[in-house]
Structure 1
């Protein structure tokens, strides 16, 4: 047996292979734990929304009966309407019925809008997505570029002029910024539309309609972008100050790299993981900010839909919109966290 050929067990597995395998397992475990955590948060949002929405004073039927058109109904007719609309019984039974419908994939039916909740959400979601996607390049690219310029020369012209302005913008809530933009560009200098998503009489041509939609979206997009611009400006400025002391930046400057290439290929690429991590936290702020912005500009997105649901005490629409948006935000947050962690490990 001493002269037998050595078996596979006699050769140790290379540490590079075992290290790569353990690293892959660690990444998968972190992704899975992050997904489970967000799933638990999503379930908590469902439970909380079902209870809190029904604790508001009044209900859908009381709002409808407050109009002159619905007056004069007897007590029996009102009770029958309550049962038909799913408002009979206590809060516990109503919440239990809603959870049952939700588990079957039914978001409910909006009585004031006379349409399924899912249909209303699918109609409003593209308008909200247009505002968020249109605002992202403004605060991501604009904030990062301005922060890089300010961080490369602390105390310079850009830093002295831009930093105070961005500091003031950071102190403005999204509602205040939207009202100021509405006052400036809609009333004092009326060059842009102040409400709605399209003109009263949209163009029949695709290009003309697209231009009308873009003009109506400019002010809401700017209001959202101003709300988030300060975060990425100060992030890029701080990261640029730290990167300026790194060896690869010092060597690049010593080799005479052009300023544009230094900003884009060296500093800009190094800021991507940090910006993605900040974007993960920004998604929640964007969704909450778009709620107020859409109210100010009467924009027909999910925020304005939630606002109308609160006024009408439309429980199904309110719950469906909140649950739907919470699911979208948590999913996007999970994906961005995974991508930023992957980029950070790659360096």
Structure 2
């Protein structure tokens, strides 16, 4: 297991380096000058100092080398559009807010989705199965911002049970959490239903039934453990989606998460802010995939054994 983990950790670092390099080059390949508007009315000497402050007067490879050196130390620089705003501090301050509503939505969605998928598989061809599939279709087809708007209309405008916008109390997270949970519910319900149906048809399940194994023991000890393994793969992208998938929902509910800074950074051509948040999300995505690989190895020892033979 140690060799398996060490190998996956090396792949993670290599992938992160490649992703950060490609992101840096793509951002700097964008046409235009990020400081053109801010520095156009300044005297030439002050303008030169302005460009030197952000290192934009250096060759591209030198800029990249400085970025990597500072990023390793946890320094992602300062915002170009808002001088003095430290990017690392901005991420550390606002990422937990995005993580909270996104994490709550993911946990709720995964839990309900897995349960619905199991129910649909064991009630195949009956009304619970059709109901779960209908929920899955709706969850995949309807965007989260549409769900968010509908929730606002019914629960804040019509019923006045919950606040429309704001942040600070648990009640402010209820509607955003529900809006973000619908997609995971649909995804995991479909995957778990398909995986459970595949496992139920295996010979060892038929043998367990013939031996008189109880339904509870059959579900938890045999079906779920084998059916949930392919669904674990989805956790990596879903964890990264905690941040990227909640940007629009954050705007709808006026939640002070990372979404507002990411959108404004693109609008203002704020290279450093875009780069910092892109690296943060990329690192989160890659680390999540690394953890998924480790969980794979723990759940199914055959994976780490076959990986060690390669």
Tell me: CA distance 1:288–1:105, structure 2 relative to 1, closer, same or farther (3 Å): closer
Match of 1:134 in 2: 104
The whole-number CA distance in structure 2 between the counterparts of 1:35 and 1:223 is: 34
Q: Distance in 2 between matches of 1:194 and 1:153?
A: 38
Computing the radius of gyration over CA atoms, which structure comes out larger, 1 or 2? 1
Structure 1 window deviating more from structure 2 (84-93 vs 143-152): it is 84-93
Matches within 5 A, 1:65-104: 73-88=42-57, 94-104=63-73
**Contact (CA 8 Å) 2:199, 2:227: kept in 1 or not?**
no
**Counterpart-to-counterpart distance in 2, 1:136 and 1:253:** 38
Structure 1 distance, partners of 2:83, 2:116, is 45
Q: Does 1:143 align with 2:113?
A: yes
**Alpha-carbon distance between aligned partners in 1 of 2:13 and 2:41, rounded to the nearest angstrom:** 47
Asked if structure 1 preserves the Cα contact closer than 8 Å seen for 2:79 and 2:272, the reply is yes
Quote the Cα distance in structure 2 between the aligned partners of 1:346 and 1:40.
Answer: 25
The one of 207, 215, 220 aligned to 2:176: 220
After TM superposition, give the deviation of residue 193 of structure 1 in Å.
3.0
**Partner Cα distance (2:273, 2:220) in 1:** 45
| 3-state SS, counterpart of residue 115 of structure 1 | coil
Query: 2:117, 2:123 → 1: CA distance?
Result: 10
Q: Is the 8 A contact 1:150 1:237 kept in 2?
A: yes
Aligned equivalent of 1:321, options 248, 266, 277: 277
Q: 2:75 aligns with which of 87, 106, 109?
A: 106
Match of 1:341 in 2: 297
Query: Is 1:53 the counterpart of 2:27 in the alignment?
Result: yes
Cα distance, 1:147 vs. partner?
1.0
What is aligned with 1:166? 136
Contact kept? 1:59, 1:314, Cα under 8 Å: no
The match for 1:275 among 208, 231, 235 is 231
CA distance, structure 2, for counterparts of residue 333 and residue 307 of structure 1? 26
Give the unaligned 5+ runs of structure 2.
Answer: 304-310
Question: What is the alpha-carbon distance in structure 1 between the residues aligned to residue 191 and residue 246 of structure 2?
Answer: 22
Deviation of the 1:146 alpha carbon: 0.9
Given candidates 189, 209, 212, the residue that maps to 1:255 is 212
- 3-state secondary structure, aligned to 1:114: coil
Q: How many residues align?
A: 301
User: Residues 100, 176 of structure 1: CA spacing in aligned structure 2 closer, same or farther, 3 A cutoff?
Assistant: same
Q: Deviations over 1:148-173 (max 9, x none)?
A: 11110211111122212311211233
Contact 2:192 2:228 in 1 (8 A): no
* Native 8 Å contact 1:295 1:307 kept in 2: no
Query: Displacement of 1:127 after TM fit?
Result: 1.0
Query: Is it true that 1:41 corresponds to 2:10 in the alignment?
Result: no
TM-score w.r.t. the length of structure 1 is 0.73
Match of 1:297 among 253, 260, 276: 253
* Residue pair 1:276, 1:337 contacting (<8 A) in 2 also: no
Aligned pair in 2 of structure 1 residues 225, 97: CA closer, same or farther (>3 Å)? same
CA pair 96-188 structure 1, distance change in 2 beyond 3 A: farther
Give the distance between the partners of 2:175 and 2:140, measured in 1 at CA.
18
Structure 1 119/138 Cα, relative in aligned 2: closer, same or farther at 3 Å? Answer: same
Whether contact under 8 Å (2:236, 2:285) holds in the other structure is no
Q: 1:166-245 maps to which residues of 2 (within 5 A)?
A: 166-187=136-157, 189-198=159-168, 212=169, 214-245=170-201
Q: CA deviation at 1:86?
A: 3.6
TM-score w.r.t. length of structure 2: 0.81
For residue 165 of structure 2, give the secondary structure of its aligned residue in structure 1: coil
Q: Secondary structure at the match of 1:109?
A: coil
Task: Give the drift of 1:74.
Answer: 4.1
